Amino acid sequence: MESESYLSYSEEDTRTIGKSFAEKLSHGDIITLLGDLGAGKTEFVRGICSYFSVNEIVSSPTFTIMNQYFGNSPNGEEFTIYHIDLYRINDPKELEEIGFSECMADSKAIKFVEWPEKADTFMPPIHWQVDVGVDEEHELQRTITMMFKGEIQA
């Protein structure tokens, strides 16, 4: 399995790592983001959004659950990006209210999911898994691992 790890020493590093990872993404990709609260998953998505020249401020969807952004790749292709944070979901049935399955089925959009385990069996097959690991000894240090999980089913 293809995987790459990077060390981040600041939130800015994490955004830069996200921004360079974004080059690998294509229409329809689903990316799960693993890591503790405050690890830097949302910072990483900020980096992704900057690659896609998203003009809006990227904020944590902890309360809104799902945020949608519109952007463009450097070669001018349009991308819709969903950033979903399932932390506050207590029962997979609540996913229906937020339109989780419809969102995941959007074959053109790129979808980022924090706390994917909350979706249980509603979580479709993913293309990438990004793990943001916190270093116990160094407050600002993170190990970010990106793992390729599968091809897009065209």
Task: Kindly list the residues in this chain that would bind ligand ADP in the complex (CB under 6 A).
Answer: 8, 10-11, 13-14, 35, 37-43, 60, 114, 132, 140, 142
Q: Which residue, 37 or 152, is less far from ligand ADP as judged by CB? A: 37
Q: Which long-range contacts (CB under 8 A, 24 or more apart) does 64-72 make?
A: 65/89, 65/98, 66/98, 66/99, 66/100, 66/103
* Contact stretch for Mg ion (CB under 5 A) within 6-14, 53-61, 74-82, 137-145: 53-61
Q: How far apart are CA 146 and CA 23, in angstroms?
A: 13
Q: How far apart are CA 114 and CA 91, in angstroms?
A: 15
* Contact stretch for Mg ion (CB under 5 A) within 42-50, 70-78, 96-104, 124-132: 42-50
CB of 91 to ligand ADP, least distance (A): 21
Q: Which residue, 60 or 64, is less far from ligand ADP as judged by CB? A: 60
Residues lying near Mg ion in the complex (CB under 5 A): 41-42, 60
